Amino acid sequence: MLDFTQLNLVINLLIFASAGVAVWMAGARITSYANSFSVKTGIGQATVGLLLLGGITSLPEIGATVTSASIGAANLALNNLFGSIAFQVVILVIVDFAIGRQALTAVVPDPMVMLQGGLNILLLTLMTAGMITGDIAVLGIGAWAWAGLLAYVFSVYLLAQSQDRRSWLAADRGQLNRSLQRKQDDAQKTADEAHQAISLRRTIAWIVGLGAVILVAGYFLSLTGDAMAKQTGLGGSFVGFVLLAGATSLPEFSTALAAGRQGLYTLAISDILGTNLINIGLVFLVDAIADGEPVLNSAGPFAAFGALLGIAVTTLFVIGMAERGDKTIARMGLDSLAVLITYGTGLVILFFLR
């Protein structure tokens, strides 16, 4: 395995940035192919966002998690996962800002996204409980990590069963907005027609190829991120939660932003919340690969607070989806503004906890 700590910090930064660019570009392209896959197979956007798009855009986290855990940097891997969860909710704030006039949580048409948010909160609560109470090994892996994996599998089952639930109608300040509903329908029709001539086989080939680019780039992000944590003295916890989490979240950033601009709001939110569910399930993978006692036992206050920050920002968005208000400030909904303030405050606290 390459030892990036032997390289100059500037070179590591360049490799890190180059890998981040590759992840961004691949993620931007894969959104339209995921929507094409949804149209050609008849699988709903929320399910495609949860399983296909969420799974593929999680490849950097998977690559970074496996690599970090295998080189003895379990805390870097763990904080990358929790940091990605919090940061990816902030991505929805940026999508909200890009939409402009309407608050994102007021116009998303599929109630399944609220269920996804609730399951995110439940699974994060399990991981936080494991860090506070301590973990014991069962078949070589922590009991709380097993609970997280089983909860993730149940979440996927529950969401699959909820796929055909009736969609919400677009509203404006609590009143049915037929103009906005037509805009959403037209956006979906335009997105569907864009890939009508591409076969399902070619669509899958593009998805697999772009996924491979994302996975390889994630590998380099992890190795250079770990090296920079040591070279800068910031430590694996803070670098994992902020720098590495931000870089490995670039696919979700580009895909969600592209989906939001196309009016595919359900796909945008499901991609983020679906990826976050996968991230929690990946705690099991970290525990399986890392040596020694269950990883949650060595997590400490930093990771516990990071998980609580993920719970807080997710809860704010779920509240926004339930309230469905459309009041905006600075081109974003009030819930998005609350998420931004909460995340910023959380980063300050985490800096002193590192």
Q: Which residue has the higher pLDDT, 24 or 164?
A: 24
Q: Which residue has the higher pLDDT, 263 or 297?
A: 297
Length of the chain: 354
Confidence of residue 6 (pLDDT cuts 50, 70, 90): confident
CA geometry: angle 184, 317, 111, nearest 5 deg: 50
Confidence check: pLDDT of 172 > 60: no
Instruction: Check residue 327 and give its pLDDT.
Output: 78
Instruction: Check residue 126 and give its pLDDT.
Output: 94
Nearest to 246 by CA among 98, 97, 89, 354: 89
Q: Over range 213-242, report the average pLDDT.
A: 73
Instruction: Check residue 130 and give its pLDDT.
Output: 94
Nearest to 259 by CA among 20, 16, 15, 46: 46
Q: Which residue has the higher pLDDT, 291 or 262?
A: 291
Pick from 56-70, 71-85, 336-350 the range whose average pLDDT is largest: 336-350
Instruction: Check residue 307 and give its pLDDT.
Output: 92
Instruction: Check residue 42 and give its pLDDT.
Output: 64
Q: Which residue has the higher pLDDT, 332 or 235?
A: 332
Nearest to 23 by CA among 63, 83, 52: 63
Confidence check: pLDDT of 173 > 60: no
Confidence of residue 303 (pLDDT cuts 50, 70, 90): confident
Confidence check: pLDDT of 1 > 60: no
What is the three-class DSSP state of 333?
A: strand
- What ranges in 233-333 are assigned the alpha helix state H? 236-238, 245-248, 250-261, 265-289, 300-323
Q: Over range 56-81, report the average pLDDT.
A: 76
Confidence check: pLDDT of 192 > 60: no
Confidence check: pLDDT of 289 > 70: yes
pLDDT in tens, 273-282: 888 898 898 8
Confidence check: pLDDT of 264 > 60: yes
> How far apart are alpha carbons 343 and 241 in whole angstroms?
12
Confidence check: pLDDT of 145 > 90: yes
- 316 to each of 171, 235, 312, 343, how far by Cα in Å? 20, 29, 6, 11
**CA-only gyration radius of the chain, Å:** 20
Determine contact, residues 234/354, Cβ cutoff 8 Å: yes
Q: Over range 124-129, report the average pLDDT.
A: 94
pLDDT in tens, 194-205: 555 567 778 788
Instruction: Check residue 119 and give its pLDDT.
Output: 94
Confidence check: pLDDT of 312 > 70: yes
Instruction: Check residue 122 and give its pLDDT.
Output: 95
Pick from 166-180, 239-253, 270-284 the range whose average pLDDT is largest: 270-284
CATH number corresponding to 4-353: 1.20.1420.30
Q: Which residue has the higher pLDDT, 3 or 177?
A: 3
What is the rounded average pLDDT for all residues in the chain? Answer: 79
What share of the chain has pLDDT > 90, as a percent?
18
Instruction: Check residue 212 and give its pLDDT.
Output: 85
